[in-house]
Amino acid sequence: TKSCGSMLGRRGLRLPPVGILLLLPFLPPPLPPAAPAPHRAAYKPVIVVHGLFDSSYSFRHLLEYINETHPGTVVTVLDLFDGRESLRPLWEQVQGFGEAVAPIMAKAPQGVHLICYSQGGLVCRALLSVMDEHNVDSFISLSSPQMGQYGDTDYLKWLFPTSMRSNLYRICYSPWGQEFSICNYWHDPHHDDLYLNASSFLALINGERDHPNATAWRKNFLRVGRLVLIGGPDDGVITPWQSSFFGFYDANETVLEMEEQLVYLRDSFGLKTLLARGAIVRCPMAGISHTAWHSNRTLYETCIEPWLS
């Protein structure tokens, strides 16, 4: 490098002063070449899937945060199954959301990120299972009942006013009940056999019930680059709140963490493999209620932004 530098020096000295002046406007500014690099590499597109009784409007803050921290990111908040339509059976929603995300993925050879809130987190997990060619880099599950729901909530009282969580299994574990999205992930720890036989959605994507697509779904799910799990003890809706991290009640209503769950131990849909790969990020945060996850700036900066490459 020394000889190269001295040669350049000698050449530079031979140039007449006018030549130097003419060249000046074309010389690159004295910036380190690495400085603009982050802006040159485009951010991967982000797809957002909403939850129960929700719509794209709920995500205006999240959109603002992404635009601020990652300018130029193409963000699509899918406007499907809004409001009461979100009670449609989850397989129907998986079909609809799948048709919406496929073209976005096709245009993004470098991959996409999914941010899926509450019930939407289950829709997205099913999508990752059934889509053979998905290219999801980060799947961010935002306060989603990934291992199911077993709690008396306002949503439930509105939908089934005469039922409590202890007897809701009578509705949910019937063919009629499975026509409601909530019942697709209702998980009564006191009626495990009924759950396994009747659950037309959660028991299937969890690989808890045998079905011909189990191997293919597991392989598809494992295409994901990273699984980011977000939730917290002050959520107030997801019950138990540890369901956001694949924890759930046993028959005595003691919460068993993900690593103690049968679906993990059997690696029935790929959780154990993902963890061994270092591809599961757990981001618990206290002090956030269920409807505030997508608008809390601290949560965004801590648990979401780092994974939007």
Q: Which residues are catalytic?
A: 118, 235, 290
DSSP states of 108-135 as a string?
A: -TT-EEEEEETHHHHHHHHHHHH-TT--
- Residue 204's Cβ-count burial label (10 Å; 0-12, 13-18, 19+) is buried
CA atoms within 13 A on the CB side of 94: 19
Helix (H), strand (E) at residue 269 = none
14 Cβ contact list (under 8 Å, min separation 6): none
Q: What's at 282, amino acid-wise?
A: R
Among 112, 68, 38, residue whose Cα is nearest residue 297: 68
* Residues facing 228 on adjacent strands: 140, 281
Q: Where are the alpha helices (DSSP H) in 119-227?
A: 119-130, 154-159, 169-172, 181-184, 192-198, 202-205, 214-221
The alpha carbon dihedral of 167, 169, 170, 171 has a sign of: positive
> Is 146 within 8 Å of 244 (Cβ atoms)?
yes
CA angle (263 as vertex; 240, 156 as ends), nearest 5: 30
How many angstroms from the chain centroid is the CA of residue 73?
Answer: 17
Rg (CA), the chain: 25
